[in-house]
Structure formats: structure tokens, C-alpha cells
Copies of this chain bind each other. A is one copy, B any other.
Amino acid sequence: MQPILKARDLVKRYGRVVALDSCDFDLYPGEILAVIGDNGAGKSTLIKAISGAVTPDSGKIWLEGREVRFHSPLDGRHAGIETVYQTLAMSPALSITDNMFMGRELRKPGFLGSVLRQLDHKAMESFAREKLNELGLMTIQNINQAVETLSGGQRQGVAVARAAAFGSKVIILDEPTAALGVKESRRVLELIQDVRSRGIPIILISHNMPHVFEVADRIHVHRLGRRLCVINPKDYTMSDAVAFMTGAKEPPPEPLAA
């Protein structure tokens, strides 16, 4: 099987800091690939390079076998890659609805929408409310609140809801449950499995080993800016994974060919 997304030899340097050090990456169709690694190992930089938010210094990326070169996150998005960034990428002063539909607003039907280009605030609000309810974010009392007034977890919930709602070819989630409560995290995991069952592959970055081992098909272990190994959660225990990623134990001699 061909990987849907493939990267080779990605390098990204920030001054003296090396964030990606000839890193390879493979994502296969329909799978949930978890990426784990220490803080600062370069996981976020890796997915940013893939989604177009960061331009790598060198290295190549292929999407569905064709080489691609993204110059902006919009390029990545047009190619079908939807991402929840760790920093969430929300406009603080705008409302929840505005943020969810940013760049893909709904217009009113008929004359109002096509000529006056009026937005359909009602439709967007009820859609947003529905998606938040699906995630169990029941404490958001006012759907028109500015995002800056949300609690940390609520904010993250909105970002995840946005990516899931507009899912397309690949969905990337950078620590989507970090600030979420127990119930909300649970819902996100269910959502991830849901999306996979729709055939869309997912990249999940997480520090929560039980979650990773629960949903991942394969685990990409990242260490010091490069892919250390790829393991199958069925073959290794959580302890092994943690030992690999922190450098306490040598990785398996031959990384899984795929």
C-alpha cells in the first residue's frame, strides 16, 4: 500500500536550535497514526511542515504520490489537510461561530446571500451549537461569546469541533485533549474513531499514553527532531513506548518497514 502522505529528510532549523533533523514520515490511508515524543522533540514542527504552516529548510513531501510544496497553511488546506494546531489558531476577539466558520462562511439563501452577500448567522450558530454539544461542551452558555472569554478547555473544544466538522483528506490533531476534561476527552476519542470509520486518516499528537494505545493503529516515536521508530501498539507496552521516546531504552533494531 502506498502512503497517502510521505515525507523524507525534512530539516528545520531555528538559529542554533534544530527542530527537525532529517525527519521521515509516513501516513497510510485510513489509519490513526499517533506521534509521541518528549516536549520539544519537534512534533509540532513536523506537522506544521506537513500542513504548510512552516516551510522546511530542506526535504520533500508527497501527498497521494505527488510531490507537493505548500507555501501557506491555505495551500495545505486546499489540498485537503485540516489541522488543529497546538496554539489553536483562533481570533480571540471574535465569537465562537465566527471562528468555526472562518474562511468558509455560510451565506443566506437567495438574493440576500448571492447579491447582498449576507451571512446566515442563524444557520452558523445552530451548527456551531450542535457541534459543541456533540463534544459535550455543555458549559458554554452563550454561543456568541468571544473566544478570549472561554475557558482553556472550551477553547480547545471549539478548535477540535471545527476540524472534525470540516474534515477532508487528512486530519491532524496536535494534542487535542490537553486542556479537556474527562468527559470531553472521551468524546474527542470517540470522534476520532468516527472520522476514521469515514475513511479519513488521522495524525494524533498526544502525551496521554492510554489514549494513544487505545486508538492508534501505529505509533511514530519522535526523538530529538527525528523519527526514532514506528511501533505497533499491539506489539509493545506503554512502558516500552515511553522508554523509547525518552531515550531510556534503545529502539527495536529494525524500524517497521511500514
A: residues with CB less than 8 A from B are: 14-18, 37-41, 43-44, 86-87, 137-142, 145, 149-154, 157, 175, 178-185, 207, 209, 224, 242, 245-246
Contact = CB atoms under 8 A, between A and B. Distances in A.
A181 B139 contact: no
A75 to B, nearest CB: 24
A44 B139 contact: no
How many copies of the polypeptide does the oligomer hold? 2
A60 to B, nearest CB: 24
B86 A39 contact: no
A138 to B, nearest CB: 8
A17 B153 contact: no
Nearest to A14: B149
Nearest to A157: B39
A154 B39 contact: yes
A105 to B, nearest CB: 25
